[in-house]
């Protein structure tokens, strides 16, 4: 396959992420408008922040009248997990510097989950998945801002499971044939269950990932690729 075809198959490969992103992004646009946030602010956040939980949080923070500096720290805590994911990701695939920057800016929970379990990853395929996901996130926000009021809420409630289906599919596929390492995701789940009761969710997730990975590094069982 040439570069363009690989890029196109990457775009197609982002379809499950798009299915998850578009309804969430529409909901984001709708809620933002309802809270009285100007459309240009909502759209700029989708382009410049590109992180679901952070943007929903930002809508809350705007309506609470919190200062920009405080907002920065709150959002920073939510996104600490991307350092951990990025280290694992960049260590696994030796991209060119340009592709490292691109894959870092496009790194989300979903693109990381989709790409990080692959044995090898063509840069053009990675670009396709990243561009498709990013594009659908912005597209959804525009749809939400413009036409959000016509979407039946029950539909977006039902589609809330889309992202989880993606995660569950990826987890199941990566455990097939090596169920003995199921203790790694199970321990991060348990850690997150406990920690999320006392910590903000962003912090709880990053600590739980570290706990699960530390247990994995002690117990072994993950093939060193």
Partner 1 sequence: MNDYLLAILFMSLATQIPRLIPAFGKISSIKNPHFKRFLASIPLAALGALIFPGILSVGGNPIIGILGASLAFFLAYKGAHVMLNILLSSLFVTLCIILSNSML
Restricting to residues 112-171, name those near partner 1 by CB under 8 A: 112-113, 116-117, 154-155, 157-162, 164-171
- Using only C-alpha atoms, the chain has a radius of gyration, in whole angstroms, of 18
* CA dist., res. 30 & res. 147, Å (int): 8
Handedness of CA 97, 102, 105, 108 (dihedral sign): negative
Q: Residue 223 Cβ, how far from partner 1 at the closest point, in Å?
A: 7
Under the criterion CB under 8 A, does residue 200 sit at the interface with partner 1?
no
Which of 139, 185, 199, 203 touches partner 1 (CB under 8 A)? 185
| Binders in 61-100 for partner 1, by CB under 8 A | 61-62, 68-69, 71-73, 75-76, 79-92, 94, 97, 100
Q: Residue 148 Cβ, how far from partner 1 at the closest point, in Å?
A: 18
Structure tokens that stand for 172 in this block: 């199941």
Binding pattern to partner 1, positions 43-62, x when CB under 8 A? Answer: -xx--xxxx--x---x--xx
Q: Is the distance from CB of 18 to CB of 132 less than 8 angstroms?
A: yes
Under the criterion CB under 8 A, does residue 214 sit at the interface with partner 1?
yes
Look-up: residue for tokens 């949080």?
57
Q: Is the distance from CB of 10 to CB of 126 less than 8 angstroms?
A: yes
């Amino acid at each position: 396959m040439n570069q363009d075809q690989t890029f196109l198959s990457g775009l197609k490969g982002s379809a499950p992420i798009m299915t998850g992103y578009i309804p969430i992004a529409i909901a984001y646009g709708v809620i933002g408008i309802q809270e009285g946030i100007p459309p240009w602010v909502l759209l700029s956040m989708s382009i410049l922040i590109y992180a679901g939980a952070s943007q929903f949080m930002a809508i809350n923070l705007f309506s609470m009248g919190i200062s920009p500096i405080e907002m920065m720290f709150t959002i920073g805590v939510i996104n600490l997990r991307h350092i951990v994911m990025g280290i694992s990701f960049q260590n696994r695939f030796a991209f060119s510097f340009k592709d490292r920057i691109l894959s870092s800016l496009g790194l989300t929970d979903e693109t990381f989950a989709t790409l990080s379990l692959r044995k090898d990853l063509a840069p053009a395929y990675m670009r396709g998945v990243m561009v498709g996901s990013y594009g659908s996130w912005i597209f959804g926000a525009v749809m939400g801002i413009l036409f959000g009021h016509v979407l039946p809420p029950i539909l977006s409630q039902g589609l809330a499971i889309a992202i989880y289906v993606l995660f569950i599919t990826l987890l199941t596929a990566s455990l097939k044939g090596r169920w003995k390492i199921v203790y790694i995701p199970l321990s991060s789940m348990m850690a997150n269950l406990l920690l999320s009761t006392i910590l903000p969710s962003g912090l709880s997730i990053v600590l739980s990932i570290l706990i699960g990975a530390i247990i994995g590094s002690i117990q072994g069982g993950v093939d060193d690729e």
